[in-house]
Structure 1
């Protein structure tokens, strides 16, 4: 039969916790708290210490600041260490000073206030880095309008122009501009800036087309706006 392995760290923690618990009980009893109230004081101090430590771990996991959790952890640790030192012979437990009686009597309200703030405080959320946001940004595929249907050529009827005013040739229609959404242009600008920072040269339309996944004429239109 294999015997269970004893963890020395847990044994040491149990011994230290029991001694601290007893010191807090003795100090509370010497300060005028008798019966079950003297046993409730060490429970209150240890619970506030554990709650503050748990709150710090939760906020640390989300990369959020935890000044309030550190403050209440320091208060509970000071109360525990103070009881250990006070009961080590440095304080006459038969004649407890008035300021210590006031601290012991006011501890329940202080512990209740700290526990409420720790339990109902806002939990921080991790913010992704800028590179992760850029990678998760879906590519916008705009709907490109089809080119206008060609009209069959027909012979126009001859019109006699006045001799004094010669006929001017008709100006060719302007090329149809490709609509580019502003969000896609802004994303393309970030890609172009990243390319310039890594290579030291401006991005060309072919590379921009591959990075964005758009048609060649659409990449040319975006590159013209980035120039």
Structure 2
């Protein structure tokens, strides 16, 4: 079964960017006085330090050591790309550039050694999960025994006095009805009898006169 190779845009872009960065580092090292194989060794050293720091970040998690050397290698690579774009006169490189290129091997060796041989402490080992604190057992007090209800004290003597009857309610005071109102009510009652043939009841009389119920009862009693 033949496997087809599919071009990956990200992989192609990475190859192009790596080749350009490699060439820029080589040109910068050559301009600083490093010739022959030494000029080709500088981009390899920078890229290897960048990859080593990235692998340390991926495997052991974020750490100050890995981030420090990753940024150093990244600044070296970006600095070479910018320096070869015409910002520096590579025909007459400055003294600080020669100093940096000459000191890079020792710096890269130190960074690679620290990344390879320093102990990595995973997050789980650095911060072990603490055991949950035991919940204190609260000792419950025994419930008090139920107390018997006190017995009623026996009466010394039995009261045989018969109860007095309740007083009768006082009769309601008579409602005073004006004579003019009685005369008007009589006309209303006669009119009702002439129309219906039956005497007027108290509710109808109260509704026709617009008086309260006690006054209507008093008027009906006088009309009877």
TM range (shorter): 0.5 to 0.7
Quote the Cα distance in structure 2 between the aligned partners of 1:119 and 1:28: 26
Q: How far did residue 8 of structure 1 move?
A: 0.8
Instruction: Report 1:82-101 matches (<5 A).
Output: 82-101=79-98
Quote the Cα distance in structure 2 between the aligned partners of 1:15 and 1:203: 75
Q: How far did residue 191 of structure 1 move?
A: 4.0
TM-score, with structure 1 as normaliser: 0.56
Instruction: Report 1:1-227 matches (<5 A).
Output: 3-60=4-61, 66-125=63-122, 126-127=124-125, 128-130=128-130, 133=131, 190-192=133-135
Quote the Cα distance in structure 2 between the aligned partners of 1:105 and 1:129: 48
Q: How far did residue 92 of structure 1 move?
A: 1.2
- Indicate the residue corresponding to 2:164 in structure 1: none
CA deviation vs aligned residue, 1:13-63 (integer Å, no higher than 9, x gap) = 110000000000000000000000000000000000001111112221xxx
In structure 2, runs of 5+ residues without a counterpart are 141-224
Cα-Cα RMSD: 2.0
In structure 1, runs of 5+ residues without a counterpart are 135-189, 197-201, 205-227
TM-score, with structure 2 as normaliser: 0.56
Quote the Cα distance in structure 1 between the aligned partners of 2:134 and 2:96: 66
Q: How far did residue 91 of structure 1 move?
A: 1.1
Quote the Cα distance in structure 1 between the aligned partners of 2:139 and 2:23: 72
Question: What count of residue pairs does the alignment treat as equivalent?
Answer: 136
Instruction: Tell me, yes or no, if the aligned pair for 1:192 and 1:203 is still in contact at 8 Å.
Output: no
CA deviation vs aligned residue, 1:133-158 (integer Å, no higher than 9, x gap) = 56xxxxxxxxxxxxxxxxxxxxxxxx
Instruction: Tell me, yes or no, if the aligned pair for 1:31 and 1:96 is still in contact at 8 Å.
Output: yes
- Secondary structure at the counterpart of residue 51 of structure 2: helix
Larger Rg: 2
Deviating beyond 3 angstroms after TM superposition, the runs of 4 or more aligned structure 1 residues are: none
Instruction: Tell me, yes or no, if the aligned pair for 1:26 and 1:87 is still in contact at 8 Å.
Output: yes
Q: How far did residue 2 of structure 1 move?
A: 6.8
CA deviation vs aligned residue, 1:55-109 (integer Å, no higher than 9, x gap) = 112221xxxx510111111110000000000001111111101110010001001
- Indicate the residue corresponding to 2:158 in structure 1: none
